[in-house]
Structure formats: C-alpha cells, structure tokens
Amino acid sequence: MEVTGEPIRVQSLLQSGISRVPPEYIQPPQNRPIQTDPDATIPVVDLFHFNTNHRESTREAIARACHEWGAFHVTNHGIPATLLDTVRRAGLAFFNECPMPEKLRYSCTAGAAASEGYGSRMLVSSEDEGNNTVSQVLDWRDYFDHHTFPLSRRNPNRWPNFTSDYRESVAKYSDEMKILAQKLLAFISESLGLRSSCIEDAVGDFYQNITISYYPPCPQPDLTLGLQSHSDMGAITLLIQDDVGGLQALKKGGESWVTVQPLSGAILVLLGDQTEIITNGKYRSCVHRAVTNPDRPRLSVATFHDPGKTVKISPASELITDSSPAKYRGVVYGDYVSSWYTKGPDGKRNIDALLLES
C-alpha cells in the first residue's frame, strides 16, 4: 500500500547495521508501547467443527466475545494446521531468504492505495482535523499484500514463487479463509437474533486481501510500533501469527493494551468497522496494534473480508427500533476507504465520523 516514492524497506534498514531507529519511526510519547494489562486475555471460542449440538453454546460465547472485545480466537475451526504452517513458512521464506533485488520486483505501485505486492508504508502523510497535511510516523514493518477475491482480482503470477508451493498455498488458504469467514459471519448474525445470512448479504461479494506482515527485530522497541493503532476497515479479519508475539488489542472501553498471546493452531477473528455499522454498534470493531522486539523477526498473516467499493453499508433494519435508533449513517464503502487513507487510521476516528447524534 505505497503512497509516494520508493520507500525504504525496514528489513534493509536493519541490515545496514543501525543501532538506533531513524526519527521517522519514533512514535510520540503517548503512542509508545509502555505496558500491557497482564491479567486480561482474549476469549477463546471452540467451534466444535460446526457441530450442530454445540451451536447454541458457541453462539453465546461468540456474542460475549463480540460485545466485549470484537476479537476472539477460534479453535476446532476445521482448517488443517498444516495449511496454516505452510502459509507461515512460505511467507517467512520470502522475507528471510529471497534476495532483496528479487523481492523488489514485486514492489507495490507507488502512489496507489492498497496496491498488490511488496511494501512498507501504509501511508506517508495524512490530514489532521484542520485538513493540514501531517507526516505519519512510519511503521516498523514490511508486508506483502495479495488480492485474492473476487477471483477476477486473483492473479497468482503477481505473487512470489520463491518457494515452489507459495502460490498454490496462498490460493488454497484464501479459499479456506473465505469459507470460514462466511461461517463466522453466519454465527455472528445469529448471535444477534438476525437471519444467518444478514451480515454477509449486507457486505455482498467479499473483496478479500491477504497481507503477510514481517516485523524485523527493532533496536529500539520502546520507541516504535510495528503497526500503529487501528481497527480494520472491512467486515471481518482472520489472522494467524507465529510464536513470537507482538499483537495487542484494546478491550471495549479499555484503557490498557492486552497482548494477544499466540495460540497454536488457533485463528484470531477481528471484527472490522463495517460489522460495527451493520450491527448498529452492538458489536464493536477491535482496535489493535503490533509492537516490536529487539531479538526475533515476527510474521503474521491477516485475511481481510471487505465489501466492494460501491456497496452502501448501513445498520441492519432489523436492529433499528424506537428504543434503539440508528447510531451510524450509511456509507459507501469506497468513500470510507478514501477517508481512511486521507486521515490515517488513528484509532477509531474514521468510524466515529459516522456516528449520528443521539
């Protein structure tokens, strides 16, 4: 998702032997990772392989997790552990072993938001409240973004083939994640008393992107963030990480960050802003960020499921009553995305702009 110029890869910066991070990566004091709440943990929901005998209790567990966190791990989700490992291994091989000149052949298009390929910068500058351009602090992260659904956007020839099974594995993973996202949205809809297809119908055909993020070790982790605080823009994100750890989430109404401890074999579900709008705020999108560490590179694979750019998202009519009026105005998804890229993620500022006066 490059926005201007040919950016510096964080990995190259590290390999140049620096012992201090350049000033553009230094977060203002209020955004630095200071401490986390050691007692709180993200809920774990057992999906029991979608066995109907467990549907009621799973639905209740999902309702609690969506209400309190907008994030939860799922186990017994039916995706083979070997597929999760293969995708992580393929991603790691690209970042760790592929020579930089070859990596650069896959660079994102400079100046185009959310373009496919190898990148480092989500945005270079953004606007403040007074529409003044401000420089963004840079994330300590490189990534590879794959366009995977609808199939008309999927062209594996644009993906690395550094390991011989890379393209095939990402395609297979994309198919499996789409099915899991559909099943989870059905559960989430039902948990609010809505028909199973309610949220999926509102989102329409998924636009799915898979972003593999690579966070090189950082010489000054106390001053930097691997990825700044944000909520995901779309409907639902499915994320796997390696065993290094570094993802943090905010509980609803919480002030302190909670580490999302890697849970072997589990998949993390993160609700995005469009699900918050469709559920009329009954479920909140999860604010999260990634921190860095001085010792080990970290890898995560995030699979985003978003509406098409022309789809208008509004609170589900079934959830609007006299006593529970619409909290958000409807928004065309493409406009929401443009505003995100102009203003920057900065917590939940973007979705808050849609709040109606109550």
Ligand X SMILES: O=C(O)CCC(=O)C(=O)O
Binding residues for Fe ion (CB under 5 A)? 232
Q: Is 302 in the site for ligand X (CB under 6 A)?
A: yes
Please choose which of ligand X, Fe ion, none residue 224 contacts, taking the beta carbon within 5 to 8 angstroms, the exact cut-off set by kind: none
Q: Which of 154, 194, 160, 158 shows the shortest CA–CA distance to 174?
A: 154
Min dist. Cβ of residue 71 to ligand X (A): 11
Q: How far apart are CA 279 and CA 78, in angstroms?
A: 26
Please choose which of Fe ion, ligand X, none residue 211 contacts, taking the beta carbon within 5 to 8 angstroms, the exact cut-off set by kind: ligand X
Min dist. Cβ of residue 290 to ligand X (A): 4
Q: How far apart are CA 279 and CA 258, in angstroms?
A: 24
Q: Is 213 in the site for ligand X (CB under 6 A)?
A: yes
Helix or strand holding residue 117 (H, E)? strand 117-119
Q: Is 231 in the site for ligand X (CB under 6 A)?
A: no
Q: Is 185 in the site for ligand X (CB under 6 A)?
A: no
Q: Is 146 in the site for ligand X (CB under 6 A)?
A: no
Residue 90 vs residues 167, 198, 248: alpha-carbon distances, Å: 9, 35, 24
Nearer Cβ to Fe ion, position 142 or 232? 232
For residues 212 and 143, the answer to whether their CB atoms sit within 8 Å is yes
Nearer Cβ to ligand X, position 194 or 291? 291
Q: How far apart are CA 196 and CA 187, in angstroms?
A: 7
Q: Is 232 in the site for ligand X (CB under 6 A)?
A: yes
Min dist. Cβ of residue 1 to ligand X (A): 10
Residue 160 vs residues 84, 120, 166, 235: alpha-carbon distances, Å: 18, 16, 7, 27
Min dist. Cβ of residue 211 to ligand X (A): 5
Taking residue 24's Cβ as centre, other Cβ atoms within 10 Å add up to 11
Q: Is 327 in the site for ligand X (CB under 6 A)?
A: no
For residues 259 and 245, the answer to whether their CB atoms sit within 8 Å is yes
Using CB under 6 A, which of the segments 179-187, 239-247, 326-334, 349-357 binds ligand X?
A: 239-247
Chain residues in the site for ligand X (CB under 6 A): 211, 213, 227, 232, 239, 241, 247, 288, 290, 300, 302
